[in-house]
Chain A
Amino acid sequence: MGWIGETVDSIKSLQIRQVLTQAVSLGMIVTSALIIWKALMCVTGSESPVVVVLSGSMEPGFKRGDILFLHMSKDPIRAGEIVVFNVDGREIPIVHRVIKVHERQDTGEVDVLTKGDNNYGDDRLLYAHGQLWLQRHHIMGRAVGFLPYVGWVTIIMTEKPIIKYILIGALGLLVITSKD
């Protein structure tokens, strides 16, 4: 009897241990992803170091689903740079090119006008009502690097949430059922 009880106990403890290990490894995956994201935020100085292009306004340079790496440094903003900016009253940031810059002599503040390469006119129609220029605080970062197609993953996931849930469910199932 004592021998059987011992075996049962060892199986029980093994299962608990296994469940714990899996919980820890799942936690490791989530936290390491978070660490990488936050580290990127520190290095690039931008609140969102990677953005996905959502519209075709910068074609043929950037297509929908491409990924841009942003950098926000102290360097002044100059014409020709591709910046990501937020307009008051709009949720989604816009990626467009700077076509006009006026930098103040005394304060160093800038007035910036942007335009999408594929758009006919400049962006004054997209800005808040009556806004003629973007200021420094509207700008989240400038694009420094480029990776094609990868952003489709997030576009598909935001537009078809069911796929996201299936993917998360399948991954979770894999983690729980895996024996090693």
Chain B
Amino acid sequence: MHSFGFRANALLTFSVTILALLCAIASLSDNLNSPSPSAQVQVLNINWFQKQPNGNDEVSMTLNISADLQSLFTWNTKQVFVFLAAEYETPKNSLNQISLWDGIIPSKEHARFSIHTSNKYRLIDQGSNFRGKEFNLTLHWHVMPKTGKMFADKIVIPGYRLPKEYR
């Protein structure tokens, strides 16, 4: 009953249980945080806008993205993955989401930023629907915890429109 093996076993079981409990509490404590992030996005320029030989429209644009995501960080936050997606509807597709820019925010100090960039991933339609197309720019973020549940949210910024002609 009081052999070394039994004591080692009891100690191991106990410490693993406590560790699991602490991880669960750390993850649950994220729910207490009610963040209030803000974001502004401007399309500064349409660099070029054309139809590819295979018939799909492609556009390149320059963006200015500024956001304050500091309130997303808690003591259980490892990083925040943030990305800007163009979202629009076409006759063929009920939803098109195309990531234009993304970044990893490692700490609270870097969570207030303003960047000036052209789209990092190619903005290509499935078809030729871009002329005069109205679309939303949505800033999404995914919070990666040190342990536990991941969560995500977004800010939708509507009301952008592509030019009526290729250029």
Could you list which residues of chain A lie within 8 angstroms of chain B, going by C-beta atoms?
A: 60-61, 76, 78-82, 97, 99-105, 108, 111, 117, 122, 143-148, 174, 178, 180
Q: Given A61-B81, A79-B85, A105-B91, are A146 and B148 also a contact pair (CB < 8 Å)? A: yes
Segment with Cβ contacts to A, from B45-53, B64-72, B110-118, B139-147: B139-147
Contact A80 B152 (CB under 8 A): yes
**Interfacial chain B residues near A78, Cβ < 8 Å:** 97
Interface residues of B in 72-99 (CB under 8 A from A): 78-79, 81, 83, 85, 90-99
Smallest CB separation, A133 vs chain B (Å): 9
Contact A100 B150 (CB under 8 A): no
Contact B92 A105 (CB under 8 A): yes
Closest chain B residue to A174, Cβ basis: B5
Interface residues of B in 118-158 (CB under 8 A from A): 121, 126, 140, 142, 144-150, 152
B55 close to chain A: CB less than 8 A: no
B1 close to chain A: CB less than 8 A: yes
A81–B97 Cα distance when bound, in Å, is: 12
Contact B149 A144 (CB under 8 A): yes
Most chain A CB within a 10 A radius of its CB, from B91, B102, B106, B150: B150
B63 close to chain A: CB less than 8 A: no
Contact B99 A111 (CB under 8 A): no
Please name 7 further chain A to chain B contacts, defined as beta carbons within 8 Å, in addition to the given A61-B104, A108-B94, sorted by A numbering.
A78-B97, A79-B97, A80-B83, A80-B99, A101-B96, A103-B95, A148-B146
**Interfacial chain B residues near A117, Cβ < 8 Å:** 81, 102, 104
Smallest CB separation, B123 vs chain A (Å): 10
